[in-house]
Every structure is written in C-alpha cells, then in structure tokens.
Structure 1
Amino acid sequence: MSSRDRILGRVRRALADVPSDDVPYEQAVQRDYLREHGERSVEETVDLLAENLADYRAVVHRTTMDELAAVIGRLLSERGSKSVLVPSGLDAEWLGGTDAERVPDRAESTPAELDRLDSVVTGCAVAIAETGTIVLDGSPDQGRRRITLVPDHHICVVRVPEQVVPSVPQALERLDPTRPLTWISGPSATSDIELDRVEGVHGPRTLEVVLVSDRPE
C-alpha cells in the first residue's frame, strides 16, 4: 500500500460518520467578514502600504516609470552589487541604469551559485496595504521562488496603483492558488527564545520595495 492510499484511507475513515446530506463546507463556514478595514482613497491605500512595509523594516522608494531604471541602478550601486539575478520576463529597461553583471534565472543553478550573487530584481503579483505584504506567484517577471530566498538583497518593483489592494481577501481574488505563492512581509527575520532578532535566516537580509507609478511624485 502506498503512502497516498494510507492517507486517503484515513480521510475516508474520518468522514465515515458524516451524513450524506450534511451542509457542504462552502456553505457551513460564514464568510461575511470585512473585506477591508475603513475607507481610503487610492493615495491613502498606497501610503498605508508604504508605512506598513517600512514598519516591517523593508526600505521603500517611490518613483515614476521614467526614473525606474535610474533608481534601480542607484540602489545596486549603493549596495556595491557586481552581479544581479534577473528573471526571464523582467523588463530589460528596468536594469538600464546599472553595469552589474546580469545573471539569468536558470533551473540548473545551485544554491551555492545563487548565494554568490549580490542582488535580485523582480516584479510582484500583488501588494497588500493593510498587512504590508508583497506576494510573488512565479510569473516570468518574478522567476522561481528560490531566487528571492537565497540572494541577500532583493529589489521588488510594485506598479502603483494597479498592483496594490487594501486587504488580504482582495489579494486572494487576484491570485491563482495553483501557482507557487510567496508572501513577503519585510526582510527575512526570526527571533530566539530571548527575542534576539536575526535577519537573513530564510531569505534576504535586505528588502527594497520600489513603488513605481506613471505620474510624477
């Protein structure tokens, strides 16, 4: 008997006493919770996102699409990055302001090879204002999940306002649950029993989020 068969057998035994006319789960669980907390304008929603990102120790930058390449180039230069990992679908113009070596996202790259890279630049799927969360879904401009977990410096570009939503329920409506979703709230960090904070344990020590719009700030 396979592990799959054993697990399914346990599920069947656990459900054996459930009446056939029992209320379906989708109907039994109430979902009348608030979709967002308070009413905000688009500008206020973006401001809340920036505030919560900073509260999680992400570094937030605001710019326009015309200035995006210059901003990313400056951030890589200030970091001293000589190499940058690039997802296959990332807009090449975003990296037009840097001389750093561009390393493509390759399936055969080993963790050690990824660890030697200085930075990674990606887009995102959606950003949640109320929680200060960035969600990646493995789309071409974001690449494989591991490329945002191994390098020590992650620059994530969020298009404002189209990729910003107020709340988690609204974000879930935009996401495909079958895709590899990565939910990011600030740089990687953990604490031991004495609450000593350690950063970079299971992700980048430095997360820089660039909020980019088509309108001048």
Structure 2
Amino acid sequence: MSGGASRDRILARVRRALADVPRHERPGDHPVARDYLRTHGERTPAGSVELLARNLADYRAVVHRVEAAELPALLTRLLVERGARRVVVPTGLPGGWLAGAPVEALPESASPTARELDGADSVVTGCALAIAETGTVVLDGGPGQGRRSSTLVPDHHLCVVRIADQVVDSVPQALERLTPSRPLTWISGPSATSDIEMDRVEGVHGPRTLEVILTAGDPRSL
C-alpha cells in the first residue's frame, strides 16, 4: 500500500470516528477523569531519592551523591578523570561549581556553533526536577540548565540535582510543577537506541555518558 493510500485510509477512520460528534462540540466540553494514582506506593523522601538513584542506574546513568560544599571538588575530579578539556557552561550556572576545574570554559552566552559544541568534551548543568519512579531528569531551559543544543551535542553530561527540592515521586507530580510552554527535555539515562537485532548503541541522539549528582544542601550559592 502506498503512502498516500495509507494516509487516506487513516483519515477515513478518523472521519468515521468523529461522524456523530456535533460541530460545535469542543474537547473541553467533556472533562477527562484524572483519578489515576499520583504515586505508586508510599515512600519517605529518603526512599524517593533511593528509588531515583536505582532507576537512574538501571538506565545506565552514573550516580554520585555529595554534600553541596563538596560539589566543586567532585565536578573537578570527574572532569579530570574523563580527560575533559573544554566544557560547555550554561548561562546562569553558579560560578563556584567549576572554579577549581582545569578546563577551558565554553560559555553558552557566546552562542557557540554546532561545530564548537561538538568539539566540547562535556557540559555541566543543573535541572528543573527529577522523577523517582521513572529515573528521569527534566531540564526546562532555566538558569544553569542550558539550551537544548548545549545539552544534546556534547558527548558527556554532568547534571546536578538538588535532593531537598527537586526530587518528585511521579510524572503527575512533575507535570504540576513544570510549565508546558518551556523547552522541556526529559532525560532517562544516556542517549541510546537499538536496531532490529536489539544491539544497543549509545550516544546517537545525545550524550553517550550521563552522570547525575544528587546533592544534599543548596549548591546555588557556591
């Protein structure tokens, strides 16, 4: 069946399904029940953080835990161990996070090109929030989070999550805190895909390596 015939067949099904819908009717006229579970099970805040760490690891992200005051030293160590020399620095990233790191900063404010971003070894960001039940980190382009290109082109992403106020249990809780009009990027582990033989290839649509740093305390003042 040709592409045009397939399209016509699908559109015909849509028209048949809508045949008895009055023209004046709008989606808001029939509210959708949202009585689904907001969370699956009961957890303490510490339990939510544990679940987040486990699910991140299941997606092959590397998880670290650190006190806020120790964050700059950890970032420096991780970048040195990786051999990162050029690091993308999003607008609004706290200056103290990379103050001691022996790297060349590629400031996002300089509007780096895709080629320049591809030449960067790593990017360091914060996040909007993290979802325990799905092991997902969400970026919304806020201060210190970077533009989409800044976080998808470099091969190594270091993402800082504040335990106290950025970890939520579930997707419904996350949606309540996120603004749909913002550029949301949902990250569950490093970028990966599989072919028909189920051979996994990482780094196809984004960073090959994702490291998430769960931080106790508030590192924004560093």
Percent identity reads: 66
Which of 126, 146, 149 is the equivalent residue of 1:146?
A: 149
TM-score (norm 1): 0.88
Corresponding residue number in structure 1 for 2:59: 56
Matches within 5 A, 1:127-166: 127-166=130-169
Q: Aligned ranges for residues 1-217 of structure 1 at < 5 Å?
A: 18-19=21-22, 22=25, 24-25=27-28, 27-106=30-109, 108-214=111-217
The 1:115–1:24 alpha-carbon spacing in structure 2 relative to 1, beyond 3 Å, is closer
Consecutive unaligned residues in structure 1, runs of 5 or more = 1-9
Q: State the Cα distance separating 1:109 from its structure 2 match.
A: 2.0
Contact residue 164 and residue 217 of structure 2 kept, 8 A: no
Q: 1:22: how far off?
A: 4.7
Amino acid at match of 2:134: T
Give the TM-score, by structure 2 length. 0.86
- Aligned-residue offset at 1:107: 6.5
Give 1:25 shift: 3.6
* 3-state SS of paired residue (2:190): coil
Asked if structure 2 preserves the Cα contact closer than 8 Å seen for 1:58 and 1:208, the reply is: yes
- Give me the whole-angstrom Cα distance separating, in 2, the residues matched to 1:81 and 1:68: 17
How far apart are the structure 1 equivalents of 2:26 and 2:119?
Answer: 54
d(CA) in 1 for partners of 2:26, 2:142: 37
Q: Do 2:152 and 2:205's aligned partners in 1 also have CA atoms closer than 8 Å?
A: yes
Q: Quick one: structure 1 residues 163 and 26, their matched pair in 2 at CA, closer, same or farther if it must change by over 3 Å?
A: farther
State the secondary structure of the residue aligned to 1:76: helix
* Inter-partner Cα distance in structure 2 for 1:168 and 1:183: 11
The structure that is helix-richer by fraction is 2
Partner residue, 1:7? none
